[in-house]
Amino acid sequence: MIKMDNNSTKIAVLGAGVVGMTAAKLMQDSLRNAEITIIADKFAEDTTSMVAAGIFRPGTSFRGRTKEITQKWMRDSWDYWQDILRSSEASNAGVMQVDGYIFSKDNYHVTRNHLMEDVVPLYRPVEENELKLCGEGFKYGSYFSTIKAGCDCYLPWVERKFTAQGGKLSKSKLESFASLTRKYDLVLNCTGLGAKYLCDDHDLVPIRGQIIKARAPWLKTAIYGDYDTYIIPGMDGVATLGGTRQYDSYNLNVCRHDANAILERCCEIVPSLKKADIVGHKVGLRPHRVPVRVEGELINSLKVVHCYGHGGYGVMCAPGTALQAVQLGIDLLKSNTKNKI
């Protein structure tokens, strides 16, 4: 990545979820003396990112404009999280190593993941005896080694680092890009589902997710099953139980029927969860777009780089997409006017 020193450059990052926060910090590391402001109407616990379990296991439908771009996002994201994991800041940032299983009673193909298999250190078919770890009837499975980044720790951690180096935060709701034209040299648009309205992007669709937080400190391994069932341990002993994947739903209310179904499916796989204390229920709207939009654009005279549409994979894939967005932003700052990069 090209690094520049420019104390007159003013940059706005729109959105304070995992994508926006990560992009802002990466931009700050690249443009040491630029004035960078994160503008958002929601921070920390109010963001969709806080609902996510944050495990590095992208869905196989996740993609950028090309296969090569998608693969680079995966590798760059993995390296970013691994750098934190190997540092003394891992626990403060909420990054931990976790192993996982994915089981299925009906479909072998759902236990494979071409986006992960060539990135994580271990991804293998399960042994025959491992199929019995989650009860009867499972025919297929894979075991993998990965990482988890909890946004309850990561977002405050990266925000502290950003502000400690002079980054600014502004809580406000942006209705259009027009108000930013004369104030900033560059804008990174990381508004997630908000981009549907800000950019009039009809390709961006919410996918509703509901999860349960349960205190189960004895769980050390992530487990996936059929029907969007997953059990993901947390660093603090609170596991994430899921889930739902409801296309084009804007319902942010907790549904007791979804909660009952989630708990029933998870307890069927891991019976010990029946004794777990329920900490809470959460709902988030994942910003789903195919492909994920990472591209530069001139809106009137304003230089904008879009980085949104990650669906349910924003936490794990934020660094890779943010790195590309930052590079596009640097290129835009150095370039003459063009309609699109």
Helix (H, G, I), strand (E, B) or coil at 52: coil
pLDDT tens, residue by residue, 134-143 = 878 999 999 9
In a domain, 78, yes or no: yes
pLDDT of residue 134: 86
Average pLDDT value for residue range 64-86:
98
| Percent of the residues in the chain that have a pLDDT greater than 90, as a whole number | 93
Contact 13, 42 (CB under 8 A): no
pLDDT tens, residue by residue, 177-230 = 999 999 999 999 999 999 999 999 999 999 999 999 999 999 999 999 999 999
Read off the pTM. Answer: 0.94
N-term to C-term CA, the chain: 17
Q: Is the pLDDT of residue 7 over 80?
A: no
| Mean of all residue pLDDT scores within the chain | 94
Q: Is the pLDDT of residue 2 over 60?
A: no
In a domain, 246, yes or no: yes
Phi-psi region of 135 (alpha: psi -120 to 50; beta: other; left: phi over 0): left
In a domain, 2, yes or no: no
Cis peptide before 135 (omega within 30 of 0): no
In a domain, 306, yes or no: yes
CATH code assigned at 20:
3.40.50.720
**Helix ranges, the chain (H):** 18-30, 67-85, 90-93, 114-117, 151-164, 195-198, 256-269, 314-334
Q: How many residues does the chain have?
A: 341
Average pLDDT value for residue range 252-261:
98
- From 158, 119, 126, select the one nearest 142 (Cα to Cα): 126
In a domain, 341, yes or no: no
pLDDT of residue 339: 45
In a domain, 340, yes or no: no
Identify the domain containing residue 209 by its residue range.
10-334
Contact 312, 52 (CB under 8 A): yes
Q: Is the pLDDT of residue 327 over 70?
A: yes
Contact 246, 291 (CB under 8 A): no
- From 58, 300, 44, select the one nearest 187 (Cα to Cα): 300
Q: What is the largest CA-CA distance in the chain?
A: 64
Q: Please tell me the total count of domains within the chain.
A: 1
pLDDT of residue 309: 98
In a domain, 4, yes or no: no
In a domain, 216, yes or no: yes
DSSP 127: P
Task: Output 1 or 254, whichever has higher pLDDT.
Answer: 254
Quote the tokens at residue 201: 């992007």
pLDDT tens, residue by residue, 277-316 = 999 999 999 999 999 999 999 999 999 999 999 999 999 9
Q: What is the DSSP string of 283-322?
A: EEEEEEEEEEEEEEEEETTEEEEEEEEEGGGHHHHHHHHH
Contact 12, 184 (CB under 8 A): yes
